[in-house]
Chain A
Amino acid sequence: MGRMTTRQKTEERIALLQGTLDLLILRTLLLGPCHGQGVARSIQRQSEDVLFVDHGSLYLALQRLEDKKWISAKWGTSENNRKARFYSLTPKGREQLLEKTSEWERLTRAMGLILRGSAGSSEV
């Protein structure tokens, strides 16, 4: 695993954020169409303020997901009558959400097994 250390500094961390952020956005939009600010608020609130979302990255992630046609966007007005760009989940995005969620669960389960310390791993 020696090679892994050299990569961790840059790309992989971004990839990690991208991967999880995408998942979180998709999950938030499952509840219904929402604008960017709402998504950010929602993630922050639901994670009990543990996760802080960099807003710049958020909008780029939204754009990326839109490019992939996992979400669609159109301009509308917010509950307090302000102009905002509303995002909603496409059928493709819904599919992706299911897949990514199960992947994530398997990953965390595997990570958990290891971190909680199964018999053989401490030997290595």
Chain B
Amino acid sequence: MFRRKRRAEDFAEEIKAHLDLEAEDLKHEGLSVDEARRQARAEFGSVQTAQERFYLKNRIGWFENLLRDLRYGLRGLWHNPGFTAVAVITLGLAIGANASIFSLFDQALLRTLPVKDPGQLVVLSFAGDTDGHTHSYGGNPPGHRHEFSYPMYRDLREKNTVFSGLIAAAPSQAGLTWNNHAESVSAEMVSGNYFETLGVRPAEGRLFDANDETAEGANPVAVLSFDYWKTHLDEAPVVGHAVLVNGTTFTITGVAAPGFHSMVWGRTPDVFVPITMQRVVEPEWTYLKDHDSYFIDLMGRLRPGVTRVQAQSALNLLFLSLRRSEFALLHDQSANARKGYIDEAHLNLEPGGGGFSPMRGDVRTPLLIMMGMVLLVVSMAIVNVASLLLVRAASRVREFSIRYSLGATGGQILRQLLAEGALLGVAGAAIGLLLAPRALQLLIHWMHGSSPDEPVFSSTLDWHVLLFTIAATFIASLLFSLAPAVQFWNPRLADALKQNTGTGIGGSLKFRRTCVALQVGFSLLLIVGAGLFVRTIQNLRNVNAGFATDHLLSFDLSPAMAGYPLPDVAPVEQRVLDAIAVLPGVRGAGATNDADLAGDNRTGDVKVSGYTPKPNEDFDVELPWVSDNYLQTLGVPLAAGRYFAPSDTATSTRVAIVNQSFAQHFFGSVGAALGQHVSRPGRPETDATIVGVVRDVKHTTVRDPAMPTCYVLFVQSAKVGGLKYYVRTWQSPDSAVNSIRAAVAQIDPKLVVGEVSTMTDAIDDSILEERTIALLATVFGVLATILAGIGLYGILAYSTTQRTREIGIRMALGAHRGTVIGMIVRDVMVLAGAAVGVTIPLAIVGSRLVRSELFGISFADPAVYGMGILVIGAVAALASLIPAQRSASVNPVDALRAE
């Protein structure tokens, strides 16, 4: 129902008609024609101005109104600096926190890869048994193995008809030497079509193409990541220059585009090399030829017009025929093996716009928890500002009543309130967006821990975050400005004017009580959350690992990165151990290929003498390769037999030490394990005699219970790679760092000693997820408590002022100050108590949802809830005590006369 606007010409004609009518009248009153005309014109004032105003009214009337509302709102806020500051800071903090956490959430879970048409990308995974060796970084739900063998990849790539490109990548560490400076970098081994299929452009030179993936060992070329080139090589001209990767000369062909890291989200490789160069990067493995070495992640780009479902069914036919020919080469040809390898096998194609990521599963829950907490903080801020606005609005009843009586409509008043709310919201959002990048930077730095890799997250706010923040601000502003609007929608204006008490707003008492209850509830939720997570990290830090974690240093060293050929690796590693062991201040040194409390596992199945596996038993054990002094250095207690000794050498009898769980599982008791034999199935050369049994210690992380473990000596192993070294010191561990580096450099300056860190730090790194949640929960909890304090104080100070007359009467009738204070505080405490009563069950339900992140504490831990109730109770009591005391100290006579 749009009415046609009246045209300006019509308006002009009306004015002309007016002038004629007026002149006519004046003529009748006796003036001459000319005089009448002149006077009519003079009386009208400026015809042009009237016409202009008509024009403006139609065109920019709404704009003028908006400007006027904003100007008026701004002036109002300016005259209440205290109120404005508290409201804007509250909103700023909440919006800033919201933007920061949302940015992390968006980067990890929502954003797509910075590549061409990410919507066409699919991630490949499969179900079905595997034989041999899997190199996994996690992220594999049942039926979704993401690691493929290289031969399978080549067959899928060459024989499929559904992809315009199928790409492969595998992560690794490598030693990179540039200008005689060697360092350990993260590398990604990629297929030749990797960059081309993703649509990543070079920042410098050229990226790989199909000619860079010809034959094993034939493509010594490298591409640098933009970040590494910028931060480590100062953007030096690198194209065509040589660089050493694990001692082998590679030619740098180019630098990848800024912003691109990897097809796998969370990986930040410094250098890319063709996958055909795998033997250089990881000399101990022969991945390229093995059908049973599963180590590469695959992604495909669908041909235009091919849907994911079509591609999946077409590709499954190919996959199953390839599995059939692989199965023909396996040892075990039983029906059972066939069922697991072929009949139950299938290929999954999943949307890959965000890239596959083993990390994503790990960060999802923590991020959801953080997002939940920050939304609570935002809700809290909305209630807070709403209650402040309400208090302010209540003192404006008369002002609004007068405006009504002067012809303002409800809509105009509402518009005015919304304009004021919008001003607060915009100011809050501005502060929030200024704070967010800083907060994000701190948070990312903190989460990054001591890892030498590039951080996965960026602290730059992108348009996603801006859009989200604008939307959140808009909704928040609407909510908190509507709170006072509700009561002004139609106040009985005459009543308000007549009522000198100024409380012509009956509905707002309920609203005030709701605000108090919500604030108590929200902050209790956040305090309980903070309590649970802080207790969790305390428990994780104090967990008994089974060995002493103090005075223990660790570092990585990989001779392969310095170009050592395979047979020379074990001897140089032994030399490093010997050199460190004799350093002053060192109590012992050991090494393992399976780092402790770092989230790492090296698992496999074993054949144990005298033990008949149950049918279908597929029992994996932890299989670390260690040095002879490793168990003693860590201080893993011996339960039976002996430790490894220097007399166990590469050429002596192969020996093994198992832990208690291992002995219990396979032999029923600790003693029965000694003298038994253990080997890898199908590899009789790995047979070793069990010479000792040690107690169970924590290995993967402090959360996980010990797995059955079988330690063997790395000097007796066929293919040894880089090791993690552990050094037990007498004094503070930091004092030994320099002498360790010097000792290694003396053996060979090319050897790259990675980051040297203490075990305590390593444990802290391994519980980073929990620590981050605990940190944020604490920050949010404190913030919520402060906000609750301010909000409650605001409301209570106001409502006590409202009761001044009542209090005056009570005191005039003989009530004591104490009684009055008690009455006011009791009112608030009853309300807070009710809010607590409603919130506790909600808190228990909420905590139950996050119980997977808790450790050593029940989600319904009474101490934490008790503490939360105590804190919020104290805040409520304090917030009500001050206004109560103030109102109780007024002179009753003044109180009665004031109004």
Contacts and interface: CB of A to CB of B under 8 A. Distances in A.
A and B: real partners? yes
Interface of A: 3-4, 6-7, 11-12, 15-16, 18-20, 22-23, 35-38, 41, 54-56, 59-60, 63-64, 66, 78, 80, 82-85, 100, 103-104, 106-107, 110
Contacts of B47: 56
Q: Which 4 A-B pairs have the closest CB atoms?
A: A19-B407, A56-B50, A37-B21, A19-B406
Given A35-B17, A63-B11, A63-B57, A6 B50 contact: no
Contacts of B21: 35, 37-38, 78, 82, 84
A60 B57 contact: yes
A84 B17 contact: yes
Nearest to B405: A107
Given A36-B14, A55-B45, A110-B497, A12 B54 contact: no
B343 interface: no
Contact of A59 (B11, B43, B399): B11
B14 A15 contact: no
A11 B72 contact: yes
B25 interface: yes
A106 B494 contact: yes
Contacts of A56: 44-47, 49-50, 53
Interface in B29-72: 43-47, 49-50, 53-54, 57, 68, 72
A82 B17 contact: yes
Contacts of A7: 72, 75
A4 B75 CA distance: 12
A60 B72 contact: no
A82 B15 CA distance: 13
Interface of B: 6, 11, 14-15, 17-18, 20-22, 24-25, 43-47, 49-50, 53-54, 57, 68, 72, 75-76, 79, 399, 403-408, 493-494, 497-498
A102 B451 CA distance: 76
Contact of A60 (B50, B76, B493): B50
Contacts of A23: 407
A100 to B, nearest CB: 8
B408 A59 contact: no
A103 B492 CA distance: 11
Interface centre among A16, A18, A37, A66 (most CB of B within 10 A): A37
Contact of A83 (B17, B24, B53, B497): B17
A84 B57 CA distance: 22
A84 B403 CA distance: 35
A31 to B, nearest CB: 17
A3 to B, nearest CB: 6
Contacts of B14: 36, 59, 84-85
Given A56-B44, A84-B17, A103-B494, 10 more contacts: A6-B79, A7-B75, A11-B68, A54-B45, A55-B18, A60-B53, A82-B24, A84-B14, A106-B494, A107-B494
29 contacts: A6-B75, A7-B72, A12-B406, A15-B406, A18-B407, A19-B405, A19-B408, A23-B407, A35-B21, A36-B14, A37-B22, A55-B43, A55-B45, A55-B50, A56-B46, A59-B11, A59-B14, A59-B54, A60-B50, A60-B53, A63-B11, A63-B54, A82-B17, A82-B24, A83-B17, A84-B14, A103-B404, A107-B497, A110-B497
B895 to A, nearest CB: 15
A110 B500 CA distance: 12
A89 to B, nearest CB: 17
A38 B21 CA distance: 9
Given A37-B22, A55-B18, A84-B17, A60 B54 contact: yes
Contacts of B75: 6-7
A44 to B, nearest CB: 10
B45 A63 contact: no
Contacts of A37: 17-18, 21-22, 25
Nearest to A85: B14
A102 B867 CA distance: 59
Nearest to A66: B6
A29 B804 CA distance: 49
Nearest to B80: A3
Contacts of B408: 15, 19
B36 to A, nearest CB: 13
A22 B79 CA distance: 32
Contacts of B44: 55-56
Contacts of B79: 3, 6
A110 B72 contact: no
B843 to A, nearest CB: 43
B54 to A, nearest CB: 6
Most B-side CB within 10 Å, residue of A55, A104, A110: A55
A95 B404 CA distance: 17
Nearest to B500: A120
A110 B68 CA distance: 29
Determine which residue in B17, B25, B46 has the highest number of CB atoms from chain A within 10 A of its CB, and name it: B17
Contacts of A66: 6
A63 B44 CA distance: 17
A41 B29 CA distance: 13
Nearest to A23: B407
A82 to B, nearest CB: 6
Nearest to A4: B399
A10 B53 CA distance: 17
B535 to A, nearest CB: 50
Contacts of A38: 21
Given A11-B68, A56-B50, A103-B405, A82 B45 contact: no
A115 to B, nearest CB: 14
A46 B399 CA distance: 32
A83 B24 CA distance: 12
Could you say which of B22, B405, B494 has the most chain A C-beta atoms within 10 Å of its C-beta?
B405
Contacts of A110: 494, 497-498
Contacts of B493: 103
A3, A19, A56, most chain B CB atoms within 10 A: A56
B392 to A, nearest CB: 11
A35 B15 CA distance: 11
Contacts of B50: 55-56, 59-60
Contacts of A82: 17, 20-21, 24
Contacts of B18: 35-37, 55, 59, 84
A80 B15 contact: no
A41 B25 contact: yes
A85 B45 CA distance: 20
Contacts of A78: 21
Contacts of A15: 403, 406-408
A19 B493 CA distance: 15
A15 to B, nearest CB: 5
Contacts of A3: 76, 79, 399
A16 B407 CA distance: 8
A74 to B, nearest CB: 11
Query: Of residues B21, B43, B57, B79, which shows the largest number of chain A Cβ atoms within 10 Å of its Cβ?
Result: B21
Contacts of A83: 17
Contacts of A22: 407
Nearest to B24: A80
A66 to B, nearest CB: 8
Contacts of B405: 19, 103-104, 107
Contacts of B406: 12, 15-16, 18-19
B10 to A, nearest CB: 8
Contacts of B53: 56, 60
Nearest to A107: B405
A38 B493 CA distance: 34
A22 B6 CA distance: 20
Nearest to A78: B21
A36 to B, nearest CB: 5
Contacts of B24: 80, 82
Nearest to B53: A60
A6 B46 CA distance: 29
Contacts of A60: 50, 53-54, 57
